[in-house]
Structure 1
């Protein structure tokens, strides 16, 4: 048996730590679970994988069934070789010997078919695992919207690494498992006298391998952390190279980089020393049984405990089945297992926070949460780069609980930036943004609807209740009707209709329809503050008015980034952004206080169609 190659030779398993197995595992997952359980030193990584293996018990059982068929050649190899020698070639009956060997060849053909038949069931395990991990990463990103995009890219690479490694380990471990079990059963049937010579060193090798896994994971983790620290130090040095030269701190930076490089090299050497002990596992578990049997062969043959054919059959089991299986387990599988342990732990710890806080049950038309929360901006500054002019420069504003505020300003004034700051998607460079005295939390305290609304594959109901999954059918229907989405939902096939086709290249859902679905979703959310960042720009003026009036009547605070004069006229107050500062007042007062606002209103009224102007008035 030769090691099964990974699905890709360039799999991106690169970082991380690991978790410990729980007490119970599904069928076939037991091989992987047993190895992980002894290898992983902390719970999160294994707890991330175990529920997914349990959820795919059906494909795992079918994969196990085909693995049983694959066990046929390892089981009969020694028996058929022994029969070919004793009953055929030694008796001068070469036809009988060839027939027995032909039977072994037929068993190999059956195994090849079983291997091919098992691949769809393997996909039934690893593809749902990949989908679940991708969803976990996305949920985590939604909960931590200020996360570094590079970190999210690494996480998606690690999800793919988990898929590849899990598939490869399942393929290889089931091959190793059925080979070992079948070879031992075959040895028992063929020559029980040699079992002590095989089982004692094999058991010792198994214990040694189990003891090595956890230290190997720890050393692998140390290597990863040291490499990440070295990369971080080098990145900071390159990013601030001109500052380093200007301040004359090149020697200090060089010393820090040297120390990080030495730490990385020391961790790699420690991992190499620990990995070298895996050769001892191969020697004890794979080679020692062969030497023991060869040493005892004259004594066994002399006392007729073995026939020449049985001795050759035992050698077949040991050399062709047992030794390659032990080498694969200790070498290839050991390395892949370390990578999987580290990647799983990285995913588990990085995406541990729940993506969307669990909303309270919707028992009435009013959203749960503190609808009396005051929104306050104190000295808020924000710039997109170290040398860039700040988009917001010391903005102060206070939005009263339950107030409807429109945000206006010329292009580039920072309206969308302010919306993201209010929603907690961006952090201010300086100053504070608070909702009810605390930092705004996406989904729980503030719900943001951007200009380009997101609709994901799934049912219409899943899309609409994403932020409030406990909403009953009556409240859902009322919200759909209130925002004017009844016709759209009916055309899509009702709440249970699946949107996968509507999200394809056919463009069945227009931008306005996507906005409408996202607006219903947000209306039902538990957040006491809603921010609409030009979220109705693809709706006609009548639909926009209907939506804004519905949100204004919804308990809580409403902030609308306006793109029509009508939105500003419907608001309680208007926040005018210009030059990084803001002026918050009623529409009529702003026309007196600000020439810029008068100019914006004149532009709106001059460019708006008559229907829009009529709505504005």
Structure 2
């Protein structure tokens, strides 16, 4: 059985990846120029390594002039120091080239995770993005080193004697050509092997969890046969990869070791046609000390890491980085349990005051913005449920605050609604769509306590959840709505550059809030997303989200003032969980009275 081909969940073809790479490099041409300038020092070191040795022998030691020989060797030593300095500067330039790629990959992975509830987002962020960054940096260093080392060595050979170049160059070109011819087949075999390995891991994960059921059903032979097919597929893929790997060894032998043999074999002829002994020794130094190590690094680095980078990029970069599709609103099917506890009755939708440009929201759905029906969740089979049979309905345009002691399950609730966790029992719907699903993911936006901000412009940060670039007027309106305008000015406007390490936690939260405000998702989940803001800034941000056109707000409150602003409050208190208005809960919930200071307080005016 052959391994199934899996270019990626949303895989791109290799030409598409190459086109992206070319466009990216065009925008970073200044960085490429700096990389070339510093690499010239390395090429100069390579040139002098052989040329100075040849001159030290011919004009120095063999001519009886030790002083000249030592001076040439000293020049070679100085070139080594200059080359080391240039190599050190190269690493900084490579970082300037690679880190923006990492930021783009992170943006793509996070965007897909938010839009589609992609289960591979965590792996993409923690493993695949880092693999791509490290591999890309290695490929840039290896390719650059081979290019400039080969240039320095070939120029040196020609300078010593053109005949030396005629002996070395054909074998080197043949070796590099053979290696280049194996790159595409190797990449395909590497991809087939990874696909087979993933299929086997997925199969074993399912089998290991269901061993007891397999035994009870008497399906051991059938399951073993299916797993055996996966193992055979991976074995054949590994063998095919190993066969093609032999070609890399052949390329290295032809391009890096054959020139040494040719130089030694033709040495009498070369010496008889005007090549000096020093030039011959210099040529051997060029081949053994420069060309062979550079070719080894290229073959091993580009041969393995290059194919791995291609496969990883296909998984990280979807074929169409567009926003999520507009969710299809569907009414609850017959038989959906009706909420009986913690039920948030529909309130009159508050009057909306649209800001300029903020007319890109999804049409408010006919179904409630959020529905939980008999939802139970625990963090382990033997653990006590964090949520036990919770029923909750939040209507379109509603404003719900979630309060309770630390560890009671407030963030767990938002994780369930966002599709990051799956309930043990019950049904969760966002705008009528089951969670998890791409439609439900497109209808909600989650702002966590620790806000994510990436390097780039302010506009790029704020428009991360939008399909197309956000008009400047809309950016400014969103920033004004959530109270980010002073920070926007301090950063230099929408085109200003953002350094995440230079921002405070509160400033990062303001950027995340403005980004979520610009999202087309009608349901906003604020999981202590304003905890680093002062009370006045927090109140302004919450009022902005509550008044967002077509929007619904669920806020995990860390201040009681947030609960007073909400139309309804969910008090999470284990089996005594309750939902109601501020005044109702002061009368009926002892925990809420404690959280509110033990006495009734005049609630803030509802947002209208």
- Fold similarity call, TM over 0.5: yes
Establish whether residue 404 from structure 1 lines up as the match of residue 398 from structure 2.
yes
Establish whether residue 346 from structure 1 lines up as the match of residue 315 from structure 2.
yes
| Residue number in structure 2 paired with 1:384 | 377
**What is the Cα deviation at residue 282 of structure 1?**
1.9
Establish whether residue 614 from structure 1 lines up as the match of residue 602 from structure 2.
yes
Q: Residue 433 of structure 1: SS of its match in structure 2?
A: strand
| Residue number in structure 1 paired with 2:135 | 165
Q: Is the 8 A contact 1:464 1:521 kept in 2?
A: yes
| Residue number in structure 2 paired with 1:369 | 361
Q: Residue 614 of structure 1: SS of its match in structure 2?
A: coil
Q: Residue 195 of structure 1: SS of its match in structure 2?
A: helix
Q: Is the 8 A contact 2:190 2:241 kept in 1?
A: yes
Cα distance in 2 for partners of 1:610, 1:121 equals 60
Establish whether residue 282 from structure 1 lines up as the match of residue 260 from structure 2.
no
Question: Using a 3 Å threshold, how does the CA distance of structure 1 residues 246 and 57 change in structure 2: closer, same or farther?
Answer: same
| Residue number in structure 2 paired with 1:12 | none
TM-score by length of 1: 0.71
| Residue number in structure 1 paired with 2:52 | 80
Structure 1 portions without partners, runs of 5+: 1-14, 19-39, 592-596
Establish whether residue 433 from structure 1 lines up as the match of residue 429 from structure 2.
yes
Question: Using a 3 Å threshold, how does the CA distance of structure 1 residues 284 and 435 change in structure 2: closer, same or farther?
Answer: same
User: What does the per-residue CA deviation read over 1:135-168, in whole Å, with 9 as the maximum and x for residues that have no partner?
Assistant: 43333333344525xx514542232223322333
Q: Residue 236 of structure 2: SS of its match in structure 1?
A: helix
Cα distance in 2 for partners of 1:494, 1:309 equals 62
| Residue number in structure 2 paired with 1:243 | 213
Question: Using a 3 Å threshold, how does the CA distance of structure 1 residues 364 and 90 change in structure 2: closer, same or farther?
Answer: closer
Question: Using a 3 Å threshold, how does the CA distance of structure 1 residues 374 and 516 change in structure 2: closer, same or farther?
Answer: farther
Aligned residue among 161, 174, 193 for 1:204: 174
| Residue number in structure 1 paired with 2:235 | 265
**What is the Cα deviation at residue 212 of structure 1?**
0.4
Q: Residue 602 of structure 2: SS of its match in structure 1?
A: helix
Structure 2 portions without partners, runs of 5+: 327-353
Q: Residue 429 of structure 2: SS of its match in structure 1?
A: strand
Q: Is the 8 A contact 2:386 2:409 kept in 1?
A: no
Query: Aligned-residue CA RMSD in angstroms?
Result: 5.0
Q: Residue 277 of structure 1: SS of its match in structure 2?
A: helix
Cα distance in 2 for partners of 1:263, 1:338 equals 20
Question: Using a 3 Å threshold, how does the CA distance of structure 1 residues 472 and 328 change in structure 2: closer, same or farther?
Answer: closer
Question: Using a 3 Å threshold, how does the CA distance of structure 1 residues 124 and 415 change in structure 2: closer, same or farther?
Answer: closer
Question: Using a 3 Å threshold, how does the CA distance of structure 1 residues 533 and 41 change in structure 2: closer, same or farther?
Answer: closer
**What is the Cα deviation at residue 427 of structure 1?**
6.5
| Residue number in structure 1 paired with 2:267 | 297
Question: Using a 3 Å threshold, how does the CA distance of structure 1 residues 421 and 197 change in structure 2: closer, same or farther?
Answer: same
Question: Using a 3 Å threshold, how does the CA distance of structure 1 residues 607 and 616 change in structure 2: closer, same or farther?
Answer: farther
**Mapping 1:483-498, distance limit 5 Å:** 485=483, 489=486
Establish whether residue 140 from structure 1 lines up as the match of residue 112 from structure 2.
yes
Q: Is the 8 A contact 2:142 2:301 kept in 1?
A: no
| Residue number in structure 2 paired with 1:311 | 280
Q: Is the 8 A contact 2:462 2:475 kept in 1?
A: no
Question: Using a 3 Å threshold, how does the CA distance of structure 1 residues 205 and 500 change in structure 2: closer, same or farther?
Answer: closer
Aligned residue among 33, 46, 58 for 1:61: 33
| Residue number in structure 1 paired with 2:340 | none
| Residue number in structure 2 paired with 1:35 | none
Question: Using a 3 Å threshold, how does the CA distance of structure 1 residues 375 and 71 change in structure 2: closer, same or farther?
Answer: same
Cα distance in 2 for partners of 1:566, 1:244 equals 54
Q: Is the 8 A contact 1:461 1:495 kept in 2?
A: no
Cα distance in 1 for partners of 2:595, 2:577 equals 25
TM-score by length of 2: 0.72
**What is the Cα deviation at residue 281 of structure 1?**
1.0
Aligned residue pair count: 556
Cα distance in 2 for partners of 1:179, 1:538 equals 53
Aligned residue among 325, 337, 352 for 2:294: 325
User: What does the per-residue CA deviation read over 1:27-47, in whole Å, with 9 as the maximum and x for residues that have no partner?
Assistant: xxxxxxxxxxxxx97135445
Establish whether residue 454 from structure 1 lines up as the match of residue 451 from structure 2.
yes
Cα distance in 1 for partners of 2:535, 2:42 equals 67
Cα distance in 2 for partners of 1:543, 1:309 equals 77
Question: Using a 3 Å threshold, how does the CA distance of structure 1 residues 391 and 503 change in structure 2: closer, same or farther?
Answer: same
Question: Using a 3 Å threshold, how does the CA distance of structure 1 residues 479 and 213 change in structure 2: closer, same or farther?
Answer: closer
**What is the Cα deviation at residue 215 of structure 1?**
0.9
